[in-house]
A and B are shown apart, each in its own frame.
Chain A
Amino acid sequence: MIPTFLPCGDSALVIELGDRIDADVNARVISLAAAVEAAAIPGVVEIVPSYRSVLVRYDPEIIRGRELEERLADLSEHLEVSGAQARSWNIPVVYGGEVGQDLEEIAAMKGLSPEELIALHAGGEYRVFMIGFAPGFAYLGGLPAILHTPRLQKPRQSVPAGAIGIGGQQGSVNSVAGPSGWRFIGWTPIRVFDPARKIPFLLQAGDRVSFVPIDPETGERLAARAAAGETVIEPEEAA
C-alpha cells in the first residue's frame, strides 16, 4: 500500500501504511518510525507508531506540515524493513488465582481444561503491535485463534497492574491498575511500567513476547524484587 498522508490538526500528521491489523504492515510502521527518528528532522517533536500508521508531531515554527510531508514521503519511499532490532521477552506468569479469575470460565467456553488453555496461551508467540491507552500498555498480537474471546459486557472497575488479559483477538499485560472490560487468566510479577525505575517502560512496539508459566511462590519472590525497583527480566536481542 502506498503511504497515505492524513492531516491531524496544525502540528501533527499521520502516515498510514494499511487499514488492518497485520504483522507485515506493523513491521513497516515500526521501521518507518525508526527511520523518522534517525533522520532527526528539525522541528519533529514526537513520533507515535500504532498498528498501521505513524503519527508525527511537529513544531510549525520550525517546519511546516507541507515540507515535512515531502521529507517523510522521501523517507518512506526508501524504507528498508528489518525485524532485526526486535527484542524478545520471556514474561513469567502465575496462571489462574484471584487475578486470573476468568481462566476456568474461558477454558469451559472453549471445551478445554485449564491446563490445556495455559499450554495454548504460553505456547503462543506474541508481537507488541503498539503501546497505547495507558502508560506502558502493550497490545499483543499472536493470540492463538481458539483463545479469541469477546470483552465483558460490563467492564470491571479495578483490575491490578500485571494482570494477563485477553480482549477479542488481542492479548495484554496490564501496566497500571484500572477499569477494564478484558478477561484475565493470570498475573505476572514483572512490572511493565514503573515510573520510579531507571527504565520506566519495559516493552516497545515491535518487541516479541512469550509467556512462561511459574508457580505462585516464585511469582511472589519475583514480585518482591520488582517492588524493590529491579527490572527482574532482560530481553534477548533476536538475530
Chain B
Amino acid sequence: MSIEVLAAGPMLTIQDGGRKGLRCFGVSNAGPMDGPAMSLANALCGNSPEAAALEFASTGGHFSTTRPVRFAVTGGDCDIHIADRRVLPGESHRLNPGETLKIGAMRDTVWGYIAFSGGISVPPALGSRATHLRSGLGGLEGRALRTGDILPLDEDEAADRCLRTASHLPANVGGPIRIVLGPQDNYFAPETIASLTETEFTVTPQRDRMAMVLGGAELPAARGHDIVSDATVPGSIQVPGSCQPIVLMAESQTTGGYPKIATVISADLPRLAQMPIGRRFRFAVVSRDEGETIWLAHTRALRAALADLQVKPEGLLTSEYLLSCNLIGGIFAPEERGAE
C-alpha cells in the first residue's frame, strides 16, 4: 500500500496541516503554502482536510501505486496524464497498479498539491507529518522527496467514488494583497508607509517555503533595521537593512531581529504564495477588524466549497468525449458538469 516516486519535481515534499503550538520552542508550523488548495485536494479524495499530501513547486513528477487509489491535483492548472489519457486538476481520478501518473508544469501558479485516498502515513514528528526543510523535521527523513522514494498510504476508508468541485474556491479572486500595518510600522516614516501601498511590488526569484523577497520600492526604516528580536508569524513583512521587504511564509523562523512593517492577512497569503516570479501587485491596508472579517468569510466559503463536492458519474462517457469539450482553464460550462 504505497506510492512510488518515479520522477520527483523540484521541492516535492510531504505536508499536512502543520505543527501547532510549538513556536515557543522555536518550531515553525510548516504545512502547505496554499492551505485551501491542499484541503481541496484531500476533500476530493475523501480525506480529512489536514491529511498528509504532496506539495510541489512548479512541476509535479511521475508516480505509481501498489493498490488502486483515487488522487486529485489542485493549486492551479497543469497537465495531468494517466498513461496517455489526459485528466483535469480540481477533481479526483482513479490510478491503478501498473499505470503511471504524470503531473506537468503549473501554468499560472507555483504550488501544486497531490492528495491520495487514505493519505500518506509516514510517522509524525512533533505531532505532524509536515516537512520542515530547514530543520530536517517531518515528511520522509525531513527532506524533499527524490526519485525512488516509497510513500506509505493509510487505509482508505472513504466511499469509493470520484469527486469534483461545484463552485470556485475563494482564493481565486484577484485584487491587491491586503495587509494590517504593524507591529513595527512606527519604525518607518509616513512617506515610506505610503510607498508601501502607492507603488507596485514584484515577486523575485529569491523565494522558497520560508520567505519571499519582494522587488520594488525601497522601505528604509527611519528608526533603523535592528530590533530586539521578537516573535514572527507567517505573513510578517520584515524589512532588513537592504530595505527590500521579505514576507515570511509557511516555513518561517519563529523569531526575527528586523522591524516588521505589516502583516499579510491570512486570507491573502496563499494568493501571494501562488504568484509566479515577475508578477507585479499592490498592497492595500485594511484594519485588523476588517482582516478578521475577511478571514471569517473566507473560511466559511472554503468550508461551503468543500461540503459541496459533487460525485462524478462514471462509465457514462468516454475520455474522448471529455477531451472534445472546451474545458478552458478549468472552468466548466453547466451542461458539462455531469460529463466524463
A interface with B by C-beta (< 8 Å): 6-14, 16, 19-21, 33, 45-53, 55, 57, 60-61, 64-66, 130-137, 139, 175-176, 178, 195, 200-201, 204-205
Interface residues of B in 283-320 (CB under 8 A from A): 288-289, 291-292, 294-296, 299
B interface with A by C-beta (< 8 Å): 20-27, 125-126, 134-137, 180-184, 228-231, 233, 235-236, 253-255, 260, 263-267, 288-289, 291-292, 294-296, 299
**Distance from B182 Cβ to chain A, minimum over Cβ atoms (Å):** 4
Q: Which residues of A contact B288 (CB under 8 A)?
A: 7, 9-10, 13, 65-66
Is B295's CB under 8 angstroms from A137's CB?
A: no
- Name the residue of chain B whose CB is nearest to the CB of A54: B231
Q: How far is the CA of A8 from the CA of B230 in the complex (A)?
A: 12
**Distance from A199 Cβ to chain B, minimum over Cβ atoms (Å):** 11
Q: Which residues of B contact A195 (CB under 8 A)?
A: 125-126, 137
Is A8's CB under 8 angstroms from B182's CB?
A: yes
Q: How far is the CA of A204 from the CA of B184 in the complex (A)?
A: 26
Is A132's CB under 8 angstroms from B253's CB?
A: yes
Is A131's CB under 8 angstroms from B291's CB?
A: no
Is B295's CB under 8 angstroms from A11's CB?
A: yes
With A51-B230, A131-B25 known as contacts, the answer to whether A11 contacts B253 (CB < 8 A) is no
Q: In the complex, given contacts A10-B180, A10-B295, what are 5 additional A-B residue pairs having Cβ atoms less than 8 angstroms apart?
A: A8-B182, A48-B231, A51-B229, A61-B296, A135-B135
Q: Which residues of B contact A7 (CB under 8 A)?
A: 180-183, 263, 288
Cβ 8 A contact of B230, one of A14, A60, A178: A14
- Name the residue of chain B whose CB is nearest to the CB of A4: B183
Q: How far is the CA of A14 from the CA of B180 in the complex (A)?
A: 13
**Distance from A148 Cβ to chain B, minimum over Cβ atoms (Å):** 16
- Name the residue of chain B whose CB is nearest to the CB of A196: B125
With A7-B181, A9-B291, A52-B228 known as contacts, the answer to whether A60 contacts B296 (CB < 8 A) is yes
**Distance from B297 Cβ to chain A, minimum over Cβ atoms (Å):** 11
Is B229's CB under 8 angstroms from A10's CB?
A: no
10 A-B pairs within 8 Å (CB atoms) are namely A6-B183, A8-B182, A8-B233, A9-B266, A45-B21, A55-B231, A132-B253, A132-B255, A134-B134, A135-B22
Q: Which residues of A contact B255 (CB under 8 A)?
A: 50, 130, 132-133
Number of A-B contacts (CB under 8 A): 137
Is A11's CB under 8 angstroms from B254's CB?
A: no
With A9-B263, A10-B291, A60-B296 known as contacts, the answer to whether A135 contacts B230 (CB < 8 A) is no
Q: Which residues of B contact A61 (CB under 8 A)?
A: 296, 299
Q: Which residues of A contact B22 (CB under 8 A)?
A: 135
Q: How far is the CA of A45 from the CA of B236 in the complex (A)?
A: 18
Q: How far is the CA of A215 from the CA of B25 in the complex (A)?
A: 30
Is A135's CB under 8 angstroms from B26's CB?
A: yes
**Distance from B160 Cβ to chain A, minimum over Cβ atoms (Å):** 33
- Name the residue of chain A whose CB is nearest to the CB of B138: A195
Q: How far is the CA of A6 from the CA of B299 in the complex (A)?
A: 24
Is B228's CB under 8 angstroms from A48's CB?
A: no
Is A53's CB under 8 angstroms from B231's CB?
A: yes
Q: How far is the CA of A50 from the CA of B253 in the complex (A)?
A: 13
Q: How far is the CA of A133 from the CA of B253 in the complex (A)?
A: 5
With A7-B288, A8-B236 known as contacts, the answer to whether A132 contacts B263 (CB < 8 A) is no
Of A6, A49, A205, which is in contact with the most chain B CB atoms at under 10 Å from its CB?
A6
Is B230's CB under 8 angstroms from A134's CB?
A: no
Q: How far is the CA of A57 from the CA of B182 in the complex (A)?
A: 15
**Distance from A36 Cβ to chain B, minimum over Cβ atoms (Å):** 11
Q: How far is the CA of A175 from the CA of B21 in the complex (A)?
A: 19
Q: How far is the CA of A57 from the CA of B235 in the complex (A)?
A: 13
Is A200's CB under 8 angstroms from B23's CB?
A: no
Q: Which residues of A contact B137 (CB under 8 A)?
A: 135, 195
Which are the 4 A-B pairs with shortest beta-carbon distances? A132-B255, A10-B291, A9-B263, A6-B183
Q: How far is the CA of A121 from the CA of B181 in the complex (A)?
A: 42
Cβ 8 A contact of A136, one of B26, B136, B181, B299: B26
Q: How far is the CA of A136 from the CA of B21 in the complex (A)?
A: 14
Q: How far is the CA of A37 from the CA of B256 in the complex (A)?
A: 23
Is A66's CB under 8 angstroms from B126's CB?
A: no
**Distance from A136 Cβ to chain B, minimum over Cβ atoms (Å):** 6
Q: How far is the CA of A63 from the CA of B249 in the complex (A)?
A: 24
Is A6's CB under 8 angstroms from B182's CB?
A: yes
Q: Which residues of B contact A46 (CB under 8 A)?
A: 20-21, 23-24
Q: How far is the CA of A12 from the CA of B126 in the complex (A)?
A: 23
With A61-B296, A195-B126 known as contacts, the answer to whether A134 contacts B26 (CB < 8 A) is yes
Cβ 8 A contact of A55, one of B230, B265, B267: B230
Is A133's CB under 8 angstroms from B180's CB?
A: no
With A10-B266, A132-B26 known as contacts, the answer to whether A55 contacts B233 (CB < 8 A) is yes
Q: How far is the CA of A13 from the CA of B291 in the complex (A)?
A: 13
Q: Which residues of A contact B25 (CB under 8 A)?
A: 131, 135-136, 200-201, 204
Cβ 8 A contact of B229, one of A16, A50, A176, A204: A50
Q: How far is the CA of A63 from the CA of B295 in the complex (A)?
A: 13
**Distance from B42 Cβ to chain A, minimum over Cβ atoms (Å):** 20
Q: Which residues of A contact B260 (CB under 8 A)?
A: 8
**Distance from B295 Cβ to chain A, minimum over Cβ atoms (Å):** 5
